[in-house]
Structure formats: C-alpha cells, structure tokens
Amino acid sequence: MTGRSATDAADPSARVTGRGGAGSAGTTPAPPVALITAAAHGIGAATARSFAEAGHRLVLADVDAAGLAATAADLAGADRAGADRAGADRVTTVVADATTEAGAAAAVDAATTRYGRLDALINVVGGSRPGRTVIDIDLAEWDRWLALNLTSVYLMCRAALPQLTAVGGAIVNVSSGAGLRGMRANPAYCAAKAGVVGLTRALAIDHGPAGVRVNCVAPGPVRTPLMERNRSAAEIDAMGRIAVLGRIGDPAEIAAAIRWLASDAASYLTGQTIEVDGGPAPLV
C-alpha cells in the first residue's frame, strides 16, 4: 500500500467533507466520521487505511467478521507503532449486510450511536462471477448480483442521507470500468455498475441543494482478493498490459481517489464518475 505523503500531512483539505465534529468553544472539533462498506478486504480495507491516516473516526462494515477484525487490528496496531492512523478508540466495526434494509440501518446506527454523526459514506460493496452470458444466468442469480452491486448502494444511501444532510456530508460510490465500457461475459455486473453511475448522478441532483455531494470512482483492474479468486495470474498480467501504464492497480490507489472525492479539496465536484484505470487502452 502507498504510504502517507508529507503533502497529505500538511494539507488541511485532505479531510472528509463536513462541518466539523462537536467541540466546545476554543477546542478542536472532533474528527469527521466515515462509514466504509466492504471494509474487510481489498479496496474497502485500503480506503479504511487511507481515511485513518488522515485521522478520521471510522465505522467499518462487512459481512466478514474475521476480516473486519483484522482490518481494525491493523489500524490499531499502526497507531500503537506511532503511525498517524486511527487507534482502537476511533474504529468501530459492525457486521452488517448492506444488501438488506436491516444491515444498512445497522451500519448507519453504529456511526450515530458511537460518534453521534456521519460525515461520509463510502459504498464499496460489490462483486461478480465472470465467464457467463445472460443465457447462463437465471433470474435468481441476476437478482443476487444486482442486489450486491446496486441495491446495496441504494439502501446505504437511503439510510445515511438524513445524517449526511445534517452535516453537509459526502457520498462516494464505487462503480467499475465495466459499468462504463462493458465487459465480456459478465452482464449482471456490467448492468449493476452502470446503474451505480446513474444513481450517483440522480443522488447528486436530488441532494446537492441540501449540501450533500455524491461522486463515484470507476476502477479498472485492481489486484484484490476478489480479482485473484476470479482470474488466473496470466489473466491478471494480461489485463495489466492493456492499460497505458502497463499494470493493474493497487487498492491504495483507488482509496486515494475516494478519499480525495470525499474531502474539501473536491468541494465543487458532484455527480461525477472518475475512472481510475491506469489509462484506457488506445484504439490504434
């Protein structure tokens, strides 16, 4: 993972959007609170590290209890070692399924119960099983992939928007290059991730007047546990060679874009989808 730069440390804009935490006159406001889904592994875990490096209080949600515990322990261990990350008292974990109303509500409730506010929602939940066309996917499986990749975003946003509106917060959704350009033999994933882009625009239009910004990142191929389960080493190397930069991405590189979009540095940006893909393959 990439480390914290001196520029990040000195840049006050590298903070989650919000109006500051509670604090009495003459005291430093409490750090903002970010809720990150799918935080046990991959892009979600990297995003937790990135926000922790900036000193934010974190609520980490996932269905994988063991993975969540490992991410939280990593952050707390780094804090004890002297790194500028969140200690155990600034990381809350919640085992919650973002594809259900109850799970989404539980994740948001964890933020408000522990910290009394929510400044940023980062929707990372997603996944796919490539290698099949619509002919091979029955309706029940189609619905499962849409629930994982699109409905989870809707449910989390719906649960979090009252809290985000109260502080002028930010939402960052994670789509995919597959949602913009398509992908062979992965139709449900492509459709759902395209839906995330459209939902991002709709949310930005509807909730921008209340001070909530909503943006999206669309990663290209990224070396995550999911990628390594779905693809062979040869396939991963081939995908990397397609990018202009000649390699696939690291989760920390996606996390950096997410953190920027949630920060005051992007205060006049909403409804946008940023591709973080190493450069699209040239046509000629």
Q: Would you give the DSSP letter of residue 81?
A: T
CA-closest candidate to residue 127, choices 211, 183, 173, 186: 186
Tokens read off for 266: 């992007």
Q: Is 112 helix (H, G, I), strand (E, B) or coil?
A: helix
Q: How many CB atoms lie within 10 A of CB 45?
A: 29
Among the listed residues 115, 154, 189, 268, the single catalytic one is 189
Known catalytic membership, residue 189: yes
**DSSP result, 175-191:** --THHHH--TT-HHHHH
CA-closest candidate to residue 273, choices 184, 165, 201: 201
Q: Is 71 helix (H, G, I), strand (E, B) or coil?
A: helix
**What is the residue whose two structure tokens read 């935080």?**
39
Q: Is 130 helix (H, G, I), strand (E, B) or coil?
A: coil
* Residues designated as active site: 189
